[in-house]
Amino acid sequence: MSSSAAPNRRAIVPRFSHRLHDYVHGINSLAAALAAKQNLGEPILDLTVSNPTLAGFDYPETEIRAALGGRGGLEYHPSARGLPQAREAICGYYAERGERVSPDDLLLTSSTSEAYSFLIKLLCDPGDSVCAPAPSYPLLEYLADLECCELTTYPLRRQGSQDGGANTARWAVDFAALERALTATTRAIILINPNNPTGNLLTQDEVEQCMGLARDRGIAVIVDEVFADYCLGGAAYYPAHSDQALVFRLNGFSKVLALPQVKLGWIHVSGEPGLKARALDLLEIIADTFLSVNTPVQASCAALLELRDGVQKQIRARLHRNLLRITELTEGRDELTLLRPEAGWYAVIQLHTVEPEDTVVVTLLRDAGVYIHPGQFFGFEGGCHLVVSLLTPEQDFAEGCARVVQYAAHRML
Ligand SMILES: Cc1ncc(COP(=O)(O)O)c(C=O)c1O
């Protein structure tokens, strides 16, 4: 009898990597409520919009097509660090921001997410860790898990007064907690400046203190600057670079040009010269293994960067108008507080309720037709936080936020 015909033999199936096992779980209650609403064909006011290409902005279509369709994209000249002309163009972007950056210190990736994965490969062995702020961008946990690395966190805390007209409250790094969070396995401190979704800008003092801490502990700093072009007034953005600590700054077209589909990101490296050169050489080996950045985008990098002002202006105008609207709607209310962002595409509303956050978001969706992300998706601990996207088209934003305010007022009665 052939083995395939043997009775009662258990099939031997291939197994999958354990790094994914935490993600194989059922659908959460918010996703289930969203699916139910969509199945019924009921209208939804979506306050989670994060894809700028579907948010009603007017892109210079002809110029984008012309840039990407140039002859430069037709020949392949593999370059692990990225084509020199593309790196030069990115230096031009920094120069316009008032910073001098050398193309030799840049390495291109296909996205900022890929830049994170390259840096974890560079810095971590399996079981090592990187330490990121909480609350922050949820993808970091997946990125770390996929590299068999642990994501630990340090808290950002609200400091200052939130009362009355003189609202001086801001999110600040809790340095005592950060120091406690750094262990023998920590290989990097991650800074997200401006942060998503809290929208706080790090002060010069915070950036320098983090770099000092990293230098003293012999670990690297990764600074995610994808929202740096979207400051909302007031606070200034402080760029991080060092000639001592090893610092990796990340950015890319998904926010600089609001073109996530074009797929270009980059890493800028600074630090003690010998260390910096070694890091760049090793990163080059990682990048050379994949050569993931497509040629058309590299060949068109300069032309595309030229187009960023027009799109950024539209986005900033919408961010400002939506922020103004949500400020008007929430001002002077006891039942909720707007945790005002200094930059970025998001704002956070804190509801002063004992109702669990997941109940609030599901009820808002089911009864008020407002789809909104709960703070727990971003690592807020305790309380009820709702994250709204300031990128949302203005009418939907105003109506959606008004319904959130009504909901909160009604619950307080
Ligand atoms: C803080 C932050 N970093 C990185 C990314 C990912 O950028 P990319 O599309 O270049 O991978 C995002 C996307 O929203 C983000 O919010």
Q: Residue 365 is encoded by which pair of tokens?
A: 């969706």
**pLDDT attached to residue 285:** 98
Residue found under tokens 């050379």: 288
- Average pLDDT in the 227-245 region? 89
Residues in the chain: 413
Label residue 91 left, alpha or beta by phi (over 0 means left) and psi (-120 to 50 means alpha): alpha
Residue range 154-210, pLDDT digits in tens:
999 999 876 555 567 899 999 999 999 999 999 999 999 999 999 999 999 999 999
- Closest approach atom of ligand 1 to CA 112: 10
| Domain ranges, ordered by start, for the chain | 26-57+309-412, 61-306
- Ligand 1 pocket test: which of 50, 137, 222, 256 has the largest number of ligand atoms within 8 Å of its C-beta? 137
Q: How far is the CA of 14 from the centre of ligand 1 (A)?
A: 33
**pLDDT attached to residue 12:** 85
Residue range 66-78, pLDDT digits in tens:
999 999 999 999 9
Q: Residue 91 is encoded by which pair of tokens?
A: 């230096």
Confidence bin at 18 (pLDDT 50/70/90): confident
The DSSP bridge partners found for residue 224 are 192, 250
Please state, in angstroms and rounded to a whole number, the distance separating the CA atoms of residues 268 and 249. 5
The residue contributing the CA closest to ligand 1 atom 9 is 254
**pLDDT attached to residue 28:** 87
Is residue 250 a contact partner of residue 112, using CB atoms and an 8 Å limit?
Answer: yes
Q: Residue 142 is encoded by which pair of tokens?
A: 């997946």
CATH code of 26-57+309-412, in short, is: 3.90.1150.10
Residue range 338-381, pLDDT digits in tens:
999 999 999 999 999 999 999 999 999 999 999 999 999 999 98
- Closest approach atom of ligand 1 to CA 192: 1
State the CB neighbour count (10 A cutoff) for residue 374: 21
Q: Pocket residues for ligand 1 (CB within 6 Å)? A: 111-113, 137, 192, 196, 224, 226, 252, 254, 260, 265
Q: How far is the CA of 228 from the centre of ligand 1 (A)?
A: 12
Is residue 149 a contact partner of residue 128, using CB atoms and an 8 Å limit?
Answer: yes
Q: How far is the CA of 367 from the centre of ligand 1 (A)?
A: 32
Helices (H), 132-290: 139-146, 175-181, 204-217, 253-256, 273-290
State the CB neighbour count (10 A cutoff) for residue 234: 9
Q: pTM of the entire structure? A: 0.95
- Ligand 1 pocket test: which of 50, 90, 193, 196 has the largest number of ligand atoms within 8 Å of its C-beta? 196
CATH topology of domain 61-306: Aspartate Aminotransferase; domain 2 (3.40.640)
Strands 384-389 and 346-351, how do they pair? antiparallel
Omega prior to 138 cis, within 30 of 0: no
- Closest approach atom of ligand 1 to CA 265: 10
- Average pLDDT in the 95-116 region? 97
Q: How far is the CA of 411 from the centre of ligand 1 (A)?
A: 35
**Residue 388 dihedral angles phi and psi, to the nearest 5°:** -115, 145
- Closest by CA to 90, choosing from 376, 400, 300, is 300
Cα maximum dimension of the chain: 85
Please state, in angstroms and rounded to a whole number, the distance separating the CA atoms of residues 35 and 241. 45
